[in-house]
Amino acid sequence: MLVVSSTLELARQLIDELERGPAPSSAVRDPAAEPRTILYHRVQWSGLSRYLGVVQKRLVTQNMLEQGNSPEDAAKEISVFLGLLDHLGRLESENRFAADRYEVDLRFIP
């Protein structure tokens, strides 16, 4: 699990809370603390790679003009980049908005 926070102190508190686990089911639930909105995002790097593959010629040209590379070297650089994107798998995020808190859950999935 990845914890992202704005301060080190907050990160430690969050980790402590996570390690402590969920509250007993008998505890009274505070309706105001329930998430009101939950947003899910999923970035599939292979999809981005496929899209960029469509405009690969343009990327190669851009590389040649920016770097002065030969067509072969430029094509190789772009190919490596697209391969890296394929390899990254996907990124998922879950954003929970409640009245008194905001939670983000980020997951890198190979």
Partner 1 sequence: MTDSTAPTAIDPTWAWQPYRPDASNPWTLQKAGHLHRRAGFGASMADLDRTFADGPEKAIHGVLNGGAGLAEFDKLMSDMAASLDAGSEEQLRAWWIFRILQTPFPLQERLTLFWHNHFATSNAKVRSTPLMLAQNELIRRHSLGSFRNLLQEMTKDAAMMIWLDTVANRKGQANENYARELMELFCLGIGHYTEQDVREGARAFTGWETRYGKFSIDQGQHDGGSKTFLGKTGPWGGEDIVRICLEQDAAPYFIASKLFRFFISDTLSPSKPLLDPLAKQLRDSDYDLRGVVETILRSNLFFTPHAYRAQIKSPVDFAVGIVRALEGHVGSLPLAEALEGLGQRLFAPPSVKGWDGGPTWINSTTLLLRHNLALAITSTEDNRFGRRTDPAALLHKHDKRADEEIVDFFMKLFLQNDATDDARIGLAQYLAEAHKQSYPPYWSERDKEDHRLRAACHLLLTQAEFQLN
Residue 109 CA to residue 104 CA, distance in Å, equals: 16
CB of 38 or CB of 55, closer to partner 1: 55
CB of 61 or CB of 95, closer to partner 1: 61
- Residues in touch with partner 1 (CB under 8 A): 57-58, 60-62, 64-71
Using DSSP, how many helices (H) and how many strands (E) does the chain show?
A: 4, 3
Residue 92 CA to residue 6 CA, distance in Å, equals: 20
CB of 49 or CB of 61, closer to partner 1: 61
Residues 6+ apart with CB under 8 A from 48: 85
In the complex, least distance from residue 75 CB atom to partner 1, rounded to whole angstroms = 12
Within 10 A of 93 (CB to CB), how many other CB atoms are there?
Answer: 13
In the complex, least distance from residue 45 CB atom to partner 1, rounded to whole angstroms = 24
In the complex, least distance from residue 32 CB atom to partner 1, rounded to whole angstroms = 51
